[in-house]
Amino acid sequence: MGAIVAIVGRPNVGKSTFFNRLIQRREAIVDAVSGVTRDRHYGKSDWNGKEFSLIDTGGYVLGSDDVFEKEIDKQVELAIDEADAIIFMVDVESGVTGMDEDVAKLLRRVDKPVFLAINKVDNAQREADAVEFYALGLGEYYTLSSINGSGTGELLDALVEVLPEAQDTDDDLPRFAVVGRPNAGKSSFINALIGEERYIVTDIAGTTRDSIDTKYNRFGFEFNLVDTAGIRRKAKVKEDLEFYSVMRSVRAIEHCDVCILLLDATRGFDGQVQNIFWLAQRNHKGIVILVNKWDLVEKETNSVRDYEKRIREAMEPFVDVPILFISVLNKQRIFKAIETAVEVCKNRSKKIVTRKLNDIMLPIIENRPPPGYKGKYVKIKFCTQLPTPYPQFAFFCNLPQYVREPYKRFLENQLRKEFDFTGVPMTVFMRKK
C-alpha cells in the first residue's frame, strides 16, 4: 500500500501547480484520478522508484476570506489525521502571513514529518528573502518554484526518505474493502457477515474511525475484510465528510483486491459513489455494487430493472459489474454478496492459456477485423495475457497506432464474453509485431 502525502497551505501559494507537476510525470502510466472532488485533487506520483499518493487539500476551500480560516484548520487536521507526511507550502512573495502562522502552530504539534516548502523562489534575491520563514518554527525549509520545477528534486529526495515502506501483508488472503459514502450501512454489513457486534453501529454518519482488517472465515470462504466505514465525525466537520470518505476510500481501495461498493438505495448512485467507483476502476480493482436499504424503496413493477439500468448508464463504458440488491437489516442476500465478491476475485486473477486465447480470439478478429484507416489495414496476428495482478492483454499487429478505442472496446467485450471477467477492469494493448 502506497504512502499518502498531503499538501497544505493557504489559497494561491501554488499548491495545485506543484501537485500537477508531480502527477503529470506519471500521466502516461497512471491516470490522475480527476473528479474525486470538483477537480484533480488525488493522484499518484513516484520519485526514485518510490510510489506515493498525493492529496491536494487546496481545492476544498469554498467561500470568502473569513471562511478560509476555518477551512484551512480543517484541511490541516484532515491531513494530520490521514497522511504519512505533510508538505506545507508558503509563498515567498507574500512572506509570512497570519494564516501561515496558524497552520504552522497546528503542524508544530504533529509527530509526522512536515516539509516546509517555500514556493515562487526563482532568483537569488528571493532565495535570501526565504530566510524569514525560519520564524515559523518548523526548522529547515526547501525553496522551489512549482512553475518551472526548480528545487522540487531536493524536496522529493527528502520526502521519499521518510515515507514508510509499502507494507506487504504476510498472508496471501485476498482483501475485500467495503467502501461507500457515510451511513450507507457499511458497519452493519460487516456485523451481519461476522455475526458479532464488532463495530459500533449508531445512526450518526461516520462513527467508525480507522480502516480495520478482519479475517473472515465462514462457509468455506477465507479473506481479509478491510472496513472503511470510517469517518470520524468531528463536531465541526460537516462539509468535509465528503473529502474524508474519499480519502479513507483511497487508502482502502489501493490496499485491496475487490471493492464492495455499498450504496444507499434511497440516495442512488450519486456523485460521490461514482467517484469511489471510478477510483476503484482506475486502480484496476475488482468491483461489486451492493444496493442496500432496498426494503425502504417504493416498488413499482420494474423497479429493480430500472434502477439497475440507471446505475449501468452512469458506469459506462465499464458496465460488466455485478449489482445486487440487499438489505443488511433483514440480512437479505448478504451471503450472496460475499459469494459474488469471491467470484470477482477469482476473475481478477484468472490466467488464460495463450493457445486457447488465440484459438478463440483470432477467428473473432478475422470475422470483424479493425476498420481500415487511411487506406491501411491492420492485421492482428497473435495475442497473449500479460503476467500482471489484473487482466491485461496484448494484441500484436502490424500497425498498432491505427487501432482506435472503439475496436479495443470490442476486443475487451469479446474477452469478457468468452472468458468471464465480470467485475474486473481490464486493459487491452496493441503492440507492434
Q: Is 151 annotated as a binding residue?
A: no
Is residue 230 part of an annotated ligand binding site?
A: yes
Q: Is 428's pLDDT higher than 60?
A: yes
Asked whether residue 16 is marked as a ligand-binding residue, the answer is: yes
DSSP labels, 90-156:
EETTT-S-HHHHHHHHHHHT--S-EEEEEE---SHHHHHHGGGGGGGS---EEE--TTT-TTHHHHH
The single-letter code of the amino acid at 317 is: P
What is residue 31's predicted lDDT score, i.e. its pLDDT?
A: 33
185 is in an annotated binding site: yes
What integer pLDDT is reported at residue 184 of this predicted model? 80
pLDDT(427) > 50: yes
Residue type present at position 242:
E
Report whether 307 belongs to an annotated binding site: no
224 is in an annotated binding site: no
Residue 165's pLDDT is 72
Instruction: Say yes or no to pLDDT of 421 above 70.
Output: yes
State mean pLDDT over 263-279.
84
- For the cut 90, the answer to whether the pLDDT of residue 393 exceeds it is yes
d(CA 277, CA 230): 17
Is 150 marked within a binding site? Answer: no
Q: Which three cell numbers stand for residue 173?
A: 488472503
Does 179 belong to an annotated binding site? no
Count of domains forming the chain: 3
Whether residue 310 lies inside any domain: the answer is yes
**Does the structure show a pLDDT above 90 at 29?**
no
pLDDT at 242: 55
Do the strands 212-218 and 221-227 form a parallel or antiparallel pair, or are they unpaired? Answer: antiparallel
Q: Establish if 292 belongs to a structural domain.
A: yes
* pLDDT at residue 198 greater than cutoff 60: no
Is residue 169, in this structure, part of any structural domain at all? no
Least confident range of 136-145, 226-235, 247-256: 226-235
Residue 7: CB atoms within 10 A of its CB come to 26
183 is in an annotated binding site: yes
- Does 234 appear as a known binding residue? no
The average pLDDT across 394-399 equals 91
In the predicted model, what is the mean pLDDT of residues 3-31? 70
Range 125-143 average pLDDT: 91
Tell me, what's the pLDDT at 84? 87
- Region 406-433: what's the mean pLDDT? 91
pLDDT given for residue 41 in this prediction: 65
295 is in an annotated binding site: yes
Is the residue at 359 inside a domain? yes
The answer to whether residue 170 sits within a structural domain is no
Q: Does one domain contain both 287 and 384?
A: no
Specify whether 227 is located in the same domain as 138: no
Out of 48-57, 91-100, 246-255, pick the least confident.
Answer: 246-255
Confidence (pTM): 0.64
User: Of the candidates 360, 333, 370, 331, which has an alpha carbon nearest to the alpha carbon of residue 420?
Assistant: 360
13 is in an annotated binding site: yes
Is 67 among the annotated ligand-binding positions? no
Q: Are 186 and 316 within one domain?
A: yes
* CATH number (domain holding residue 389): 3.30.300.20
**Greater pLDDT, 312 or 255:** 312
* pLDDT tens figures, 283-305: 889 999 999 988 887 777 678 88
Contact 171, 216 (CB under 8 A): no
C-alpha cell at 412: 475487451
* Annotated binding residue 322: no
pLDDT for res 72: 67
pLDDT-derived band at 10 (thresholds 50, 70, 90) equals confident
Burial class of 401 by CB neighbour count within 10 A (0 to 12, 13 to 18, 19+): exposed
Q: Are residues 67 and 190 in the same domain?
A: no
Q: Is 292 annotated to bind ligand?
A: yes
Least confident segment among 229-238, 363-372, 392-401, 410-419: 229-238
Burial of 212 (0-12, 13-18, 19+ CB in 10 A): middle
End-to-end Cα distance, the chain: 35
With a pLDDT cut of 70, the percent of the chain lying above it is 79
What is the model's pLDDT at position 62? Answer: 46
| Domain end point (choices 328, 346, 364) | 346
User: 368 and 341 in one domain?
Assistant: no
180 is in an annotated binding site: yes
**Do 383 and 361 contact (CB within 8 A), yes or no?**
yes
More confident residue, 131 or 198: 131
Residue 231, marked binder? yes
Instruction: Point out the least confidently predicted range of 56-65, 90-99, 357-366.
Output: 56-65
Same-domain pairing of 287 and 372: no
245 marked as binding residue: no
Answer yes or no: is 167 within a domain.
no
User: Was 9 annotated as part of a binding site?
Assistant: yes
379 is annotated as contributing to ligand binding: no
pLDDT at 155: 93
Please check whether residues 218 and 327 belong to one and the same domain: yes
Residue 111, marked binder? no
Higher local confidence (pLDDT), 102 or 34: 102
Q: What is the CATH number of the domain that holds 9?
A: 3.40.50.300
Give, in order, the Cα–Cα distances in Å from 297 to each of 205, 260, 292, 326. Answer: 20, 21, 10, 12
Which grid cell sits at 149? 520545477
Q: Specify if 57 maps to a domain.
A: yes
Q: In the predicted model, is pLDDT for residue 228 greater than 50?
A: yes
Q: By mean pLDDT, which of 86-90, 128-132, 182-186, 340-344 is the weakest?
A: 182-186
Residues 392 and 314 in one domain: no
Same domain (yes/no): 217, 324: yes
361 and 338 belong to one structural domain: no
Strand partners, 320: none
Q: Is 171 exposed, middle or buried (0-12, 13-18, 19+ CB in 10 A)?
A: exposed
pLDDT at 212 over 70: no
What is the reported pLDDT for 37?
33
Of residues 185 and 35, more confidence is placed in: 185
pLDDT of residue 19: 84
User: Is the model's pLDDT at 67 over the cut of 80?
Assistant: no
pLDDT tops 80 at residue 432:
yes
Q: How many whole angstroms separate alpha carbon 197 and alpha carbon 220?
A: 21
Helix (H), strand (E) at residue 406: helix 405-419
Residue 40 has pLDDT above 80, yes or no: no
Statement to judge: residues 207 and 239 lie in one domain: yes
Residue-wise pLDDT for 85-107, tens only, equals 999 999 998 889 888 888 898 89
Q: Where are the beta strands (DSSP E) in 219-322?
A: 221-227, 258-264, 286-292
Mean pLDDT, all residues of the chain: 79
Q: Is 402 annotated as a binding residue?
A: no
Neighbouring CB atoms inside 10 A of 160's CB total 19
Domain final position from 162, 188, 214: 162
Whether residue 168 lies inside any domain: the answer is no
* Residue pointed to by grid coordinates 482483501: 175
Which range scores top for mean pLDDT: 186-190, 362-366, 400-404?
362-366
The reported pLDDT for the residue numbered 346 is 92
298, 321, 346 — which closes off a domain? 346
- Ligand-binding site membership of 294 (annotated): yes
Give yes or no: residues 122 and 18 share one domain. Answer: yes
Q: Which domain holds residue 112?
A: 3-162
